[in-house]
Structure formats: C-alpha cells, structure tokens
Structure 1
Amino acid sequence: MNEGLVVFVRSLLSFFSLLIFTRILGKEQISQLTFFDYILGITIGSIAASLSTDLSSRSWPHWIGLITWAALGLLLEYITLKWRYVAKYLENEPTIVIMNGKIMEKTLKKMRFRVSDITELLRNKDIFDLTEVDFAIIEPNGQLSVLKKPEYQNLTPKDMYIQKKASGISSELIYDGILIEENLRQLDKDKNWLLNELKKQGITDISDVFIATLNPSGSLYIDLYNDHMTKITDIGDYKGPY
C-alpha cells in the first residue's frame, strides 16, 4: 500500500514536471522534429518514467536529471535561434537533391541516400514521375520539399497552353537583421541595390528587417520585426493564458 502511494505521488511529480518542460521546449509536430529532438524527447520521457516507478532509488536524482536534460534542450534551442551559423552545424541545413530536374548523385552519396529513398519520398508527395520535379530539397528533419516544373503545377499553364518561366528558388538576402552578401552576389546584385529596394518600401535600416528573400524572377519578399499590424487574427477557440 505504501509503495503504491509512493508511486502515485512520484507519478504526479513526473507528470506535471514533464508537462511544464514540454510546454517550455515548444510544440513542434513529430514530423518537424530533427533526429536529435526526437532522441531528446525519448530520453526525457524515459527519465520521467524512472522517476515514477523506480523505487530502488530516491526520487530527487531522477528529478535533477529531468531538469538537466530539459534545461540543456532549452539552451540548445536558444543557441540555435540566436546564432545562425551554430544552428547550421548543430541542426544541419536544407540540401538540394534534385536541381533543374537533375538528380544530384554526389549529394545523395554524401547524405547516404539512395535514389529509391528519394522516389519513395516523392510518392508520398503524390509524384510518381521524376520528370515532373524541378527542385527537391531534403529538410533538416528528413522531410522532402518539392517544387514541380511550371507545366506540372496545379492549374498548370500547360493545360491552358500558356508558356511560363520558372520562378526558381528564393534566396535569403537578409536573415534576422543580418545581410547575406554571398547570396546577393549569386543573384548578381549588390548592397546598394538592396538598400534602394528597401528605401522604396520606407525601410532605412537593414537591422529592421527580419527576413528578405529574392527569387530569380525578381520577386522580393520583405518581413520586418515590427510589421505594425493593428488587427491580429486569432484562430484559437479558448481565450486562456496561453
């Protein structure tokens, strides 16, 4: 009876600790988690389970371990949000595996992917013919993002007998207030061109820009830290504290 009561109390402690830590660490879907995030979640859950039922040891070492793992996970999230280049090495970055309809064999080999792995991921996107694919990108979480060729996109120009130029993939020119000059050079642009484009939209300082992207067709997207939005759409149905 006493053991059952101890397990009950320790289970309450681990349950609410786990609830608090998962709320702090965020609410990404399983499909959005990197492999490390997945292992981190399993480890924290395992420690919480041990805290509940391992009566051969005191509860506080398990609880300290739970706090430590959760704190390290939170610290890693902060680091990857604060420093882009650290995130690049800790979380990896998107990798193009099909470019302009051509499979990047060396890239696949480096990532230890087979062509059959890519075709399987394409079938999950309802693509059964490689000729439809313009670009395919492996995201850091292992998911595949696909840009179809213009003639195969929904409500295709091909069906309407209209020729359409490929838009290509957008490149980041400004990320988190920092200018990425290498991407500017790849697009045959310079800093003065970008500053003029920003001035056209009333932006005088690059540090005010959260993200700016440009695609090969010339479409420029700009998002500011302060967007001056007066009415925010709320899609939630519970007016609670969170």
Structure 2
Amino acid sequence: MQEPLVVIVRSIITFFTILLYARLIGKQQIGNFTMFDYINGITIGSIAATLATDLSSKALVHWIALTIFVVLTILLQYLGVKNRYLSKVQDSEPVVLMENGNILEKNLAAARITKDELMTQLRCKNIFSPIEVEVVLLEPDGSVSVRPISSYQTVQKKDLNIPVQFSKLTTEVIVDGIIIKQNLEQRGKDEAWLMDQLHKQGVRSLNEVSYAAILPNDFFYVDRYDDNISDELNISDYQGPY
C-alpha cells in the first residue's frame, strides 16, 4: 500500500512541476518546433515520467535533472534572442530546395529529402507542376514554404482595384439552444431581433436550434437538430454502425 501512495505523491509533484516549467518555457517550442526542440521535449517528458514512477531512486535526483534541462532550455532561448548567430546554430536556417522551377539537388541531398517527398509537399500546397514554382524553402521546423511564379499566383482584390472592406468574425449567438447574450450585444442585436430571425426561418422554439450565428456578411445562419438529408446525398453503401 505504501508504494501506490508514494507514486500518487510523486505524480502530483511532477504534474505541477511540469505545469510551472511549461509556463516558464513559453510557447516558443510549439511555435518553432525544430528537431532539437522535439528531442528536448521528449527528454524532459521522459525525465518527468521517471520522476513520477521510478521508485528505485530518489525523486530529488530526477527533479534536479528535470530542472537543469528546463533552465538550459530557457537560457538557450534567451541567448538565441540576443545573438543571431547562436540562434542559427541552435535552430538552423531555411534551405532553398527549388528555384525558378529547378530542383537544387545539392541542397536536397544535404537536407536528406527525396524528390518524391518534395513533390508530395508541393501537392500539399496545391501545386501539381514544378514549373509553377519560383522558390521552395525548407524551414527550420521542417515545414516547406512555397512561392509560386507570379503568373500562377491567385489574383487578389488589390490587383483588380476592388475596394477592400473590413471583414468581421462569425459571431455565435445560439449554441445547443442557449442564447449567448454577450455576443448578441457585441453585434448590436437583441433577443427580439434574434427571435424574429428565427421565425423568418421557420424556427418556433430554441429547442430546435443546435447552432446559430451572425456571419461576417451579417447573414443569419441557423442549424437545426433535425437535419433533413435527402437520399441523393447519401453516398454510403455500407450498412454497418459507422
């Protein structure tokens, strides 16, 4: 009975230690998840797991190791902000994989990426032909950034001299039959307006509404619990439970 109690106490200590240290480290590892960050995160997690469950050694030893890893991580973050060269040593820098439709085989080999993997990344960016590419960059976090040749880029409103209007956000006003009064007030509406909009769409009771929102173009959207889906849209030929 003593061992479970020790595990419980050590797990509680580990949980709140990780919570505190995660707040101290901040969001940098998530926002720029390099290979070093990935390995460092796994190591910190492994030490924390050992701290919580390894009863063959003292908890203090593992706690000290965990603290040292976190302190070093924060120190490297601070030095990386202050020193550009050290930041590049720690996180590396972008690598050009393609330029003007040409694959840079030397850089591709240095990054240990195959041509098939490169083409897969291009397709994920909705580019299916290499001749559409102006430049492809391998970012330090392993993601790929692609810039299409200008003639293949999507036309924007400013290119056509179309006035740009500020776009609002979708505002939820009913969720699971419950009115969100604060959101209504933010859009300058009241419950009387809301009920009028519901009646116009044939809704007689809030209990019928699963979700309702005021869209960015001020259109009122309603989704009911009762979804009348026609057989024409049912593409399944599987009679199982899913």
Report the TM range for the smaller structure's normalisation. Answer: 0.5 to 0.7
2:106 aligned partner: 106
Shift of 1:101: 2.2
Structure 1 residues 113-132: aligned runs within 5 Å: 113-132=113-132
| Aligned residue in 1 for 2:173 | none
- Do 1:93 and 1:140's aligned partners in 2 also have CA atoms closer than 8 Å? yes
Partner amino acid, structure 2, of 1:85: Y
Matching of residue 14 in structure 1 with residue 14 in structure 2:
yes
Instruction: State the Cα distance separating 1:155 from its structure 2 match.
Output: 2.4
How far does residue 21 in structure 1 lie from its aligned partner after superposition?
A: 1.1
Unaligned stretches of 5+ residues in structure 1: 161-242
Per-residue deviation, residues 118-140 of structure 1 (Å, max 9, x unmatched): 11111221222112111110001
Greater than 3 Å deviation, 4+ residue runs? 28-32
Deviations 1:95-149 (A, max 9, x none): 1111122211121122222211211111221222112111110001111001111
Shift of 1:28: 4.3
Aligned to 1:83: 83
Count how many residue pairs are aligned between Structure 1 and Structure 2: 159
Match of 2:39 in 1: 39
Please tell me whether the aligned partners of residues 136 and 145 of structure 2 are also in contact (alpha carbons under 8 angstroms): yes
CA–CA distance in structure 2, aligned partners of residues 71 and 31 of structure 1: 19
CA pair 92-31 structure 1, distance change in 2 beyond 3 A: same
1:59 aligns with 2:40: no
- Normalising by structure 1, report the TM-score: 0.61
Residue 74 of structure 1 aligns with an amino acid whose one-letter code is: I
Q: What do the CA deviations read for 1:164-209 (whole angstroms, capped 9, x no partner)?
A: xxxxxxxxxxxxxxxxxxxxxxxxxxxxxxxxxxxxxxxxxxxxxx
CA contact (8 A) 1:97 1:136 kept: yes
Measured on the aligned residues, the alpha-carbon RMSD in Å equals 2.0
Q: For residues 211-236 of structure 1, what are the alpha-carbon distances to aligned partners after superposition, in whole Å with 9 as ceiling and x for unaligned?
A: xxxxxxxxxxxxxxxxxxxxxxxxxx
Whole-Å separation in 2 of the counterparts to 1:19 and 1:120: 37
Contact 2:132 2:152 in 1 (8 A): yes
CA distance in 2, matches of 1:41, 1:115: 30
Structure 2 residue 27 is matched with structure 1 residue 27: yes
Corresponding residue SS for 2:154: coil
Distance in 1, Cα, partners of 2:53 & 2:107: 47
- List aligned pairs for 1:124-203, cutoff 5 A: 124-155=124-155
Residue 74 (structure 1) aligns with: 74
**5+ residue gaps in structure 2?**
161-242
Partner SS, residue 137 of structure 1: strand
TM-score (norm: length of structure 2)? 0.61
Give me the whole-angstrom Cα distance separating, in 2, the residues matched to 1:48 and 1:114.
Answer: 36
